[in-house]
Amino acid sequence: AQSVTQLGSHVSVSEGALVLLRCNYSSSVPPYLFWYVQYPNQGLQLLLKYTSAATLVKGINGFEAEFKKSETSFHLTKPSAHMSDAAEYFCAVSPYWYSGGGADGLTFGKGTHLIIQP
Amino acid sequence: EAGVAQSPRYKIIEKRQSVAFWCNPISGHATLYWYQQILGQGPKLLIQFQNNGVVDDSQLPKDRFSAERLKGVDSTLKIQPAKLEDSAVYLCASSTEGAPHNEQFFGPGTRLTVL
């Protein structure tokens, strides 16, 4: 069984400030981890993914996340927030195994709404 | 490259009525997923198809929900009869194969309101 906990349903930062969105996971098998962004009335877009290679993962739009197994965390950061970053962010987990055609639907957290103050 | 297409974008129905949603995945994508996203929550997987076959439908309320993917391309998700708690956005996603490291591409969703 897998689960994801995102701390903070809303996070507010000033433009130009550091963005930190927290994600902790629980998984009985080694996980794949993802961050998705959702803009209003749109589908989800992949920001970045951890697939057991490098623990520091760089994504699009200047975002990055670090996988910490000892802390079961995968927090998302961006050094300098931009107004266009305002959106809903979802952390998700998928089982590691791949046997071709296996069940690999994502388990999502409840999301964090990022607010950027001018 | 065209993305995942869904229709309709919005649907309002009365409880106990039936409703169907349609999804056209990205060309060549063998795996298709339906997720339910209730307001204020993350998406929840309902069903996963690999080509024509169902890989995982463990979270699909089978007494009222059904889904099919004929010819391994388009898919429809049906609710019959609808309940108030079915009000949600229904997201369709597709990926190139059933590997967890492959990106799932999401459509814009269908927003269902049950009155």
Q: How many interchain CB pairs under 8 A, A with B? A: 74
Mean pLDDT on A34-42: 91
Spatial separation of the C-alpha atoms in residues B55 and A6, rounded to whole Å: 28
pLDDT tens for A78-118 read: 999 999 999 999 999 987 655 555 677 899 999 999 999 99
Spatial separation of the C-alpha atoms in residues B87 and A108, rounded to whole Å: 19
Asked if the Cβ–Cβ distance from B4 to A107 is below 8 Å, we say no
Distance from CA of A70 to the nearest CA of B (A): 22
Nearest to A44 by CA among B95, B6, B106: B106
Amino acid at A3: S
Distance from CA of A37 to the nearest CA of B (A): 11
- Residue the block writes with tokens 């998705």: A36
CA-to-CA dists, residue B81 to A61, B23, B69, angstroms: 43, 20, 20
- Residues in chain A with CB shorter than 8 Å from the CB of B103 are 46, 49
pLDDT tens for B73-113 read: 999 999 999 999 999 999 999 998 755 567 889 999 999 99
